[in-house]
Structure 1
Amino acid sequence: MYEIFVLGELMTGDKHGYMLQEILKNAGGPYRQISSGTLYPLLSRMVDHEWIHLSLDGTGGGKRPRKIYGLTDSGRRKFLELMEKPLEYNMDTEQMFHFKMIYFRYVPKRVRLDCLQQYLIYLETNLRHVTDFEAEIAFYKPEPEKQRLQLLRVLDHRKQMGMTNIEWIKKEIAAVKSKED
């Protein structure tokens, strides 16, 4: 998942590892932090795959030169491949969608629309699941009643959030469709 982030960030220009880590910390939110122990081995693998290149910058005044990462032509192709890859529906779907959406400006309109449509399907499937489960709980009325009522409140919250997200995505799809590529 982080490959698309690194490649997308390097589409904007060369960056050192610390800067990539700081941007990713902010993009991932306060509860999804990436450690140096995850990022730097990833960067090394990406250099080995020749998706990115590494250069050393000794002008920073520190004892060790900073490692600056840049995108290769192979990395640009890999970035497009990852952006075109359909969303996988799992626990990381939302994070991957958000990462992809950040870099929409680097891909053709059809790729953006495909991603938005895939995310819409994900949201609609989740909403259907919540609605079906809510109907089942209301029909069978499992005990204890207080727990059932609280579960229905949780499901109502999920339903409201789902409907809001679906409405937003539909507007986004319409906006992308209306723009020229």
Structure 2
Amino acid sequence: MYDLFVLGELMSEDKHGYILQERLQYAVGPTRKISPGTLYPLLSRFVESGWITLQFEEKKEGGRSRKLYGLTEHGRERFQELMVNPVEHNTDTELTFQFQITYFQYVTKDVQLMCLDQYLGYLHNNLKYVNSLSEMIAKKKINEKQLFQVLRMLDHRKHVLLADVGWVTEEIERIKTTKEL
């Protein structure tokens, strides 16, 4: 997932590691912490894989040299592969999808639609699960107050999923009717 983010960020221009870390932190939000121990080993692996380049800028007075990362042609190919690979349905699916739509400008309309269709499938699977869970729990013999709150929680989740389904469906239609640049 972070692979997609880093390669996507480097599609437009070379960046310093601290800029990548700052943007990644903004992207994942306030509840996840992105440490240098997460990002810099990933960057090192990408350099070894030939996906990105590493340049050292000259030291400023009293400071240390800064690392500047750039994307190679092999890295551009890897980015395209990550965009078309099916997204695994796990706890990072929503964040991966957010990364994908952030970098839609670097892929074709067909790839954009494929990403949206995959995410729509993920949403429909979750919606089916929430509906079946609601039905199952409603039949259980549990405390009435607790049952009410659990069903309210599931109803909330259902509303969030339906809102996401609506947005993705509208986005699919918007992209289908937009001319590719």
Q: TM-score, normalised by structure 1?
A: 0.96
CA–CA separation in structure 1 for the residues paired with 2:131 and 2:120: 16
Q: Which amino acid aligns with 1:152?
A: L
Q: Please name the residue that 2:150 is paired with.
A: 151
Deviations 1:124-143 (A, max 9, x none): 111111111112222x1421
1:175 and 1:59 map into 2 onto residues whose CA distance is 48
Is residue 83 of structure 1 aligned with residue 98 of structure 2?
Answer: no
Amino acid at match of 2:45: R
TM-score, length-scaled by structure 2: 0.96
Contact preservation (8 Å) 1:24, 1:33: no
Letter of the 1:32 partner, please give it.
R
Distance across 2 between alignment mates of 1:73 and 1:141: 57
Secondary structure of 1:11's match? Answer: coil
Q: Deviation string for 1:137-173 (max 9, x for gaps)?
A: 22x1421111111100101100111111100110011
Task: Measure, in 1, the Cα distance between the counterparts of 2:61 and 2:26.
Answer: 27
The whole-number CA distance in structure 2 between the counterparts of 1:148 and 1:60 is 63
Q: What corresponds to 1:49 in structure 2?
A: 49
Paired letter, 2:169: K
Whole-angstrom CA distance in 2 between matches of 1:130 and 1:15: 42
Aligned residues: 180
**Which residue is 1:23 aligned to?**
23
1:60, distance to aligned residue in structure 2 (A): 4.3
**Code of the aligned partner of 2:111:** V
Gaps of 5+ in 2: none
Q: Which runs of 5+ in 1 are unaligned?
A: none
The Cα RMSD (Å) is 1.1
